[in-house]
Every structure is written in C-alpha cells, then in structure tokens.
Copies of this chain bind each other. A is one copy, B any other.
Amino acid sequence: MLVNLGAVASYLKEHDNYTILTHAHPDGDTLGSGFGLCLALRSMGKKANVINEEELPRKFLYLDVEKQDFEEQTVVAVDIADTALMGKGVEAEYAKRVDLSIDHHGSNRQYAALNFIDSAAAAAAEIIVELVELMGVEITKDIADRLYTGISTDTGCFRYANVTPKTHLLAAQLMGYGADAAKINTLMFETKTRTYAALERLALDGMEFYYDGKCAIVTITRDMFAKSGSDETECDGIAALSRQIEGVLVGITLRERHDGTYKASIRSHDPVDASAICARLGGGGHRNAAGCSLPYDTVEEAKAKLIETVGEFI
C-alpha cells in the first residue's frame, strides 16, 4: 500500500524495536538515510539498528553508530527499490516481511506493507529530513552529518540533474543544524586511496571510443585490480569518468567481477537514456545512470554486446 509522509511519521511513532535495512553495495545515501533515521528514532526513545549485507566500506565508517541489543519488531527499508538489491543474506531473511519502505526511486517495486515513494527527491535523505521534522525530532549535528552525506553523495555534491531548489534548502537547513559539509565533502569527493588512484590510471589508459566519440568505454579487469592493489569496493568512482569527455553521450565502465562475469555501469547525457539501454540487457536504473550484468565468458564478448546495444540508442 502506498502511504503519505504523515502516515509514515505516525507509524514510526507508534511502533518500536526497529531494524533498518540498507541496500547492498551501500552508498552514502542508503547509509546516511539509514543511520540518520536510526539516530532520530533513538532520540524518540525507540530502539533501532541499521543492517547491511556487507561490512561498511571504510570511507563510510564515520556514519556508523553503535549497535543496540533488543528483540526486533519492526522492519524498515531505506533507499531500496527492490528486495533483490538487499543482497542475498538480507533478502532471504527480510524480503517478505518489510513493514515500511521509504524510497526515492520511481522504479520502486512496493514490496513492503507500507510504501512511501517520492521520486522527485534527489536522495532518500531528503525524505528523511522532512520525516524527522514531521516527527518533531530535533536534528542534532550527528543526524545532520548523516543526512547531509546522503544528499551530497546522491547528487554528486549538488552537480546532477536531480537537484531541485528544495535540495539546496534542505542542505542549508542541515548546515544550520551543524552538518560539517566541508569535511564530509573532502572525505567523499576529494580523497582517493593510492590503490584506487592506481586503478583509475590503469583503467583510463585503456579508454576506447566508438561511434565518432559519442561512446567511451573503460574496462576494469581482475588483472588491473591485482596490479593496483585495489578491489571492487572502491571502483564506483570510475564509472562517471568516461562520460566527462567532451562529445561523449554514453560512458561505459565494464568491470570483471570476482566470479568472472561482467558488470556494466552506464552513464549518459540527454537525450540518451541509460536505463533504456540497461533494460535491454536485463538491468535498470535511472535515466542518466544505470547498470546491468553481462553473463559472457570473455571481456570481448561482453564489450561487443554492449557496443552493439548502445548503437541502437545513439
């Protein structure tokens, strides 16, 4: 059932002992929203924990809060469009019993008993800011830091087309509550590990162009992970780089996974719809940022299939 934000606030006030689910391969928005909501619930006297399929990536450790010990009664999903995105362990445990889902993906599959979806929100954290205020909870610096992180990371630091005037108003508000925007943005956007920097160089050295430079493709092989000392947890930033080249409408990052299959991240400029390209290949996502898996044996096969498909869209 779809509900409005007032109903979400009432529901959260009336229940207790929360497990907050965040999506696998966690980003700043699912974690910032999850931990921000967790702290808000705790300051209302509730018990709440955040869980994730994986260990927190090192760069997001500052968002973490200490676990509480209690018997779980209520399950809330944040920024999860589909139960398949929870990761296998969390999905097996929780998929069929999510009480409330709060999300900003238009593609949300409404798998929960109660679903609040606002696809106009640039980040799930935008929704959480309003929700926390509706619940009458004071936004502390700790809450503000987490919700600012969600908004900042899901908008590329206010750079992307999903930013609205409201996004800036909420950022102003969170800074007013003490969010340390400069420190958060340095951590999120201005810090690369040496291993990641080495991987980025190896990957960009092999960038190839197709369709008169309208499509750029970068391939990350397991061999590059080995050479650079980097791994899959820190290679998300590379996806955006190929689209930055002047004239490129479709930027593709093709990554060889641990199990030998391939994952493509596609970034596009309008009028090209990245989610349409990925949908054709069994994946999905947003209009300008989408992804899909490619079950091929060799990188050449995966690349050929991608380039052929992209050709139908540019």
- A interface residues with partner B (beta carbon < 8 Å): 156-161, 163-169, 171-173, 175-176, 181-182, 185-186, 189-194, 197, 201, 204-205, 207, 209, 213, 240, 243-247, 269
Contacts and interface: CB of A to CB of B under 8 A. Distances in A.
A182 B194 contact: no
B182 A175 contact: no
A192 B247 CA distance: 9
Query: How many copies of this chain does one complex carry?
Result: 2
Contacts of A172: 165-169, 172
Nearest to A200: B204
A165 B157 contact: no
Nearest to A181: B163
Given A158-B158, A181-B163, A201 B194 contact: no
A246 B173 contact: no
7 contacts: A158-B171, A163-B175, A165-B171, A165-B175, A168-B169, A193-B245, A197-B207
A144 B157 CA distance: 20
Contacts of A171: 158, 165, 168
Contacts of A185: 158-160
Contacts of A157: 156-159
Nearest to A189: B159
Contacts of A173: 165
Contacts of A166: 172
B244 A190 contact: yes
Contacts of A186: 159, 269
A159 B163 CA distance: 15
